[in-house]
DNA sequence: TTATCTGTAACATATAAAGTAACGAAACCC
DNA sequence: GGGTTTCGTTACTTTATATGTTACAGATAA
């Protein structure tokens, strides 16, 4: 399978929603992400459940932020999309009978757990507003006035 | 795809090879790992190329250690099997044109790079001999005299 | 009522590790 | 030498899972 890009995509979307006055439809967001509207709804469902975004049906409907970006951390988003597995490596089996394998897997597991703790701690430190201001700096640096992801910022 | 278990498997094998006086055939190792002899040869090829193990053809042939386990770190093994990607998450595209996406991916990438550095540093600290002594403790604690992975330790 | 939306279910695709079959080459035994 | 064992390698198939797609029901506004 490909690398899981849901976290990256949701952060991307949230920032655009913040800079976008009107509601954005799944279709608009999908084009922005280079994907499909169903994929967008599927992934955004978790953010909605956690109250980070709202969605409205019908004419003029779509998605909008339900909270300030300064109040949402990367960890919040990561958890909202279901806290998918961070690592591509792991033990060879769940419950090995072999004591050697148990020792190896325990050691690896400890190391991976530590790494996961650090990653989560780091995610918790950064708000989406922080990322947005990173974008502002890039934008100012380039002094560009063109299109940004097919959606004006 | 499944979680990559090559590192776990190779560590497992190396410890067994250390406790096993005779050479072990790919088939024997495969049974120990619950897999196939070709998978074993394929994965062990990297360890052989780095000089951690040797293999001999024909009658009485098979695999044997070429270096003391105290001289091989987890990082050595990880690198030997091709330093596969550690993370299951990543950016949505390689070269995003969108500045928002660039900011998001850069921030995530920094975080992941830090995590990778920490993981590699930790892997470098631990030798296979360290893992083997973990096993010894488990073994002593259980006072078991039975089979261990179909291969007596 | 009709055109837009979201929400879901159901199914198809892509990717890479893992699994499998086949065969050649090397080393050993008789 | 001839047969057997074992590695080395190629060329597949399988598997798991995020992603992509189609279809359709339900909700909302003009």
Tell me what pLDDT residue B116 has.
96
Tell me what pLDDT residue A142 has.
72
Q: Do A15 and B85 touch (CB under 8 A)?
A: no
Residue B104 and residue B109: Cα distance in Å, rounded? 8
Q: Which residue matches tokens 């919040």?
A: A76
pLDDT for residue B148 is more than 80: no
B67-93: average pLDDT: 96
B5 sits within 7 Å of strand C by its CB: yes
Q: Do B107 and A144 touch (CB under 8 A)?
A: no
Q: Which residues of B touch A107 (CB under 8 A)?
A: 126, 130-131, 134
| pLDDT per residue as tens digits for the range A95-112 | 788 999 999 999 999 999
| pLDDT per residue as tens digits for the range B66-77 | 999 999 999 999
pLDDT for residue B151 is more than 50: no
Percent of chain B with pLDDT over 90: 79
At the topology level of CATH, where does B6-142 sit? Arc Repressor Mutant, subunit A (1.10.10)
B80-99: average pLDDT: 91
Q: How near does any CA of chain B get to the CA of A96, in Å?
A: 9
Q: Which is more confidently placed, B87 or B141?
A: B87
Tell me what pLDDT residue B153 has.
42
Q: Which residue matches tokens 């703790």?
A: A117
Contact status of A37 with chain B (Cβ, < 8 Å): no
Contact status of B101 with chain A (Cβ, < 8 Å): yes
- Strand B62-65 with A62-65, pairing: unpaired
* Angle between helix A37-49 and helix A6-19 axes, rounded to 10 deg: 80
B48-73: average pLDDT: 96
Tell me what pLDDT residue A1 has.
63
Beta bridge partners, A65, equal A53
pLDDT for residue B143 is more than 80: no
Q: Over chain B, what is the mean pLDDT?
A: 91
DSSP string, chain B: -PPB-HHHHHHHHHHHHHH-SS-B-HHHHHHHHTS-HHHHHHHHHHHHHTTSEEEE-STT-EEEESS-GGG-BHHHHHHHTT----BSB--S-SS---HHHHHHHHHHHHHHHHHHHHHHHHHHH-BHHHHHHHHHHHHHHHT--S-STTS--
Tell me what pLDDT residue A21 has.
86
Mean pLDDT, consecutive 10-residue stretches, chain A (153 aa), reads 90 95 95 96 97 96 96 98 96 86 94 96 97 86 56 42
B56 sits within 7 Å of strand C by its CB: yes
Q: How near does any CA of chain A get to the CA of B63, in Å?
A: 18
A38 sits within 7 Å of strand C by its CB: yes
Tell me what pLDDT residue B45 has.
97
Q: Cα dihedral sign for A42, B95, B119, B40?
A: positive
């Amino acid at each position: 399978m490909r690398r899981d890009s849901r976290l990256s995509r949701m952060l991307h979307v949230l920032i655009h929603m913040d800079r976008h006055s009107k509601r954005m439809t799944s279709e608009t967001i999908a084009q922005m992400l280079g994907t499909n509207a169903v994929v967008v709804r599927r992934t955004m469902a978790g953010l909605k459940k956690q109250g980070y975004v709202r969605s409205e049906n019908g004419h003029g409907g779509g998605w909008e932020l339900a909270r300030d970006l300064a109040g949402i951390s990367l960890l919040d988003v990561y958890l909202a999309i279901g806290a998918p597995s961070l690592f591509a490596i792991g033990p060879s089996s769940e419950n090995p009978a072999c004591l050697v394998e148990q020792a190896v897997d325990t050691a690896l597991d400890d190391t991976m757990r530590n790494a996961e703790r650090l990653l989560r701690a780091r995610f918790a430190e950064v708000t989406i507003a922080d990322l947005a201001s990173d974008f502002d700096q890039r934008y100012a640096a380039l002094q560009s006035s063109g299109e940004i992801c097919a959606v004006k910022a």
